[in-house]
Amino acid sequence: MRNPDFPVDASVSSAERGDPSALRLVLSDDWILESQDETHVTVANTATAARMKLSTAAYQFLKAFAKPRRLDEVVSPGAMAGARAQVGKLLEKQLLLDADAPRADRALRLRTTVPYRFCNAPAYTAASDFVVLGVPYDLAGTVDCRGAPTAIRQKSLDYLYRMRITDGRPNGWFDANRETWILRGATLADAGDVYVEYGEDQSELFGRISSALEELGEGAVPVVLGGDSSVTYAVAAALRRRGPLTVVQLSAEPVTAPASASEVFGTDEVAARLLQLEGIERFVSLGAPTTSSASLGDRVMLYDVPTLRRAPLDTLACDWGGKAAVHLSIDLGVTKPEYLRTDEHGASAGLSQSELRSIITALGRRHRLVGIDLVGLDTRSGFAHLSAAVACDLALTAMDASRGHDGAKR
């Protein structure tokens, strides 16, 4: 089995291609003509999302490479210098390719643009405190959640990311429940979705998730919108390379089945698979309605709802040390009506919204939240719109918790 957090190969840079006039050049199979007017066209590579605006003359030049040709077969010697520069850009965008080089057997595209950005934050271009990344993948389980990143982002437009008029810094939001400002000054960007090619090997996608997170840098807290809970595995596998990592999952249905022998694993194996990775210190599951009989060793800790209600989380968290680096995964299955319905005493089988928020806040006080994911939103459920609202609320709560109890930036 291929290492699932092995980075995808970066595309070859133009500098490595050498002098383009020595190559036989050909148009990429993935190019499209996106738009055209009287003077210009826009062409794009659908595999990489690269775009170029070209003059009509440059477009005619590009089309000359429909079949493999050398540059001197297309332009006169006097125009060669200008043509070399143009070809360099087209090679850079992978609209033109070296016809004799081995072809990539898969798309090199890491991320795709999305119709809505989380909270309408700017598209990711530079370092920010939080970077949102969607992973619309749901082939490891039975829940239909590939549309969840879009559903959550669309709902997040109720929580627009705004700047203060006075200083141009992020305004944050007002948490009416706690009557306090959150995320003031915290910068947020949306890096779109990881490109998912349905049918490819699972490990290929997980490698791409790792590469995307690496590309976004270590300075930001990633906020990953799944996808099913196998996405948690891919994200934690990438984050553990930054240091020892505890994975905490808020879930009504702990993913603690033993690891199977299969290369492809299901959502219920996430804990067992994670603990096979070096650098994952423990897996903590919070919020099952009743005690699980699962036994995966002393590095898996399960706290069910009655236990959490008896003992404050600050006490429980002592069991696994202070200031651990924590990746927090929120399985949105916790929003299922059967877990939230209350009995005659007003108690729900699962954690209430208020309890979920309290636990997340307490985690942030005691530990360092270095990554956040939200997985398992069932878009076919009649409650999908509610789950998306809960997801936005908990995502912002978790982001605030990652800044520590005093709201200071880490």
Partner 1 sequence: MEWRNEATTSSGDDTSQSLFGWPRAEEGSPRARIEVIGVPSDCGNGGASGARFGPEAIRRASQSFRLEVAGVDRGDVEGVHGHDWAEVLVSAQHEIERIVEGDAIPIVLGGDHSISYAAVAALRRHPTLNIVWFDAHTDFCAWSGGRWHDHKQVLRRIAGLGHVGRILQIGHRGITYFDESARSNKMTVMSANAARSAPLESVLEPLPEGEPVYISVDVDAIDPRLAPGTGHPVPGGVSGELIEQMASLIASRRRVVGLDVMEVNPLLDHRDTTSALAARMLAAVAPHLAPFPPSE
Rounded to the nearest 5 degrees, what angle is found at the Cα of 340, between the Cα atoms of 339 and 341?
100
By CB under 8 A, residue 349 contacts partner 1: no
By CB under 8 A, residue 331 contacts partner 1: no
Dihedral angle, C-alpha 340, 341, 347, 352, nearest 10 °: 20
How many angstroms from the chain centroid is the CA of residue 125?
A: 15
> SS3 for 200?
coil
Name the E strands within 12-163: 24-27, 31-36, 40-45, 51-55, 69-70, 96-98, 111-112, 130-135
Positions 103 through 162 that interact with partner 1 (CB under 8 A): 158-160, 162
Stretch that binds partner 1, among 73-81, 170-178, 196-204, 217-225 (CB under 8 A): 170-178
Q: How far apart are CA 345 and CA 213, in angstroms?
A: 45
Q: How far apart are CA 359 and CA 366, in angstroms?
A: 11
By CB under 8 A, residue 378 contacts partner 1: no
By CB under 8 A, residue 18 contacts partner 1: no
Q: Which residues pair with 161 in a beta bridge?
A: none
Positions 212 through 241 that interact with partner 1 (CB under 8 A): none
- Which residue number, 116 or 320, has a Cβ lying nearer to partner 1? 116
CB 362, min distance to partner 1, A: 17
116: nearest Cα among 170, 222, 192, 220:
192
Structure tokens at 211: 């590469």
Please give the size of the binding site for partner 1, defined by CB under 8 A.
30
By CB under 8 A, residue 363 contacts partner 1: no
CB 314, min distance to partner 1, A: 21
* Contact mark string toward partner 1, 388..407, x via CB under 8 A: -xx-xx--xx----------
CB 389, min distance to partner 1, A: 5
By CB under 8 A, residue 165 contacts partner 1: no
Q: How far apart are CA 148 and CA 277, in angstroms?
A: 27
By CB under 8 A, residue 186 contacts partner 1: no
Structure tokens at 319: 């069991």
Which residue matches tokens 């996608």? 205
Binding site for partner 1 (CB under 8 A): 158-160, 162, 171, 173-177, 179, 182, 335, 337, 340-341, 352-354, 357, 382-383, 385-386, 389-390, 392-393, 396-397
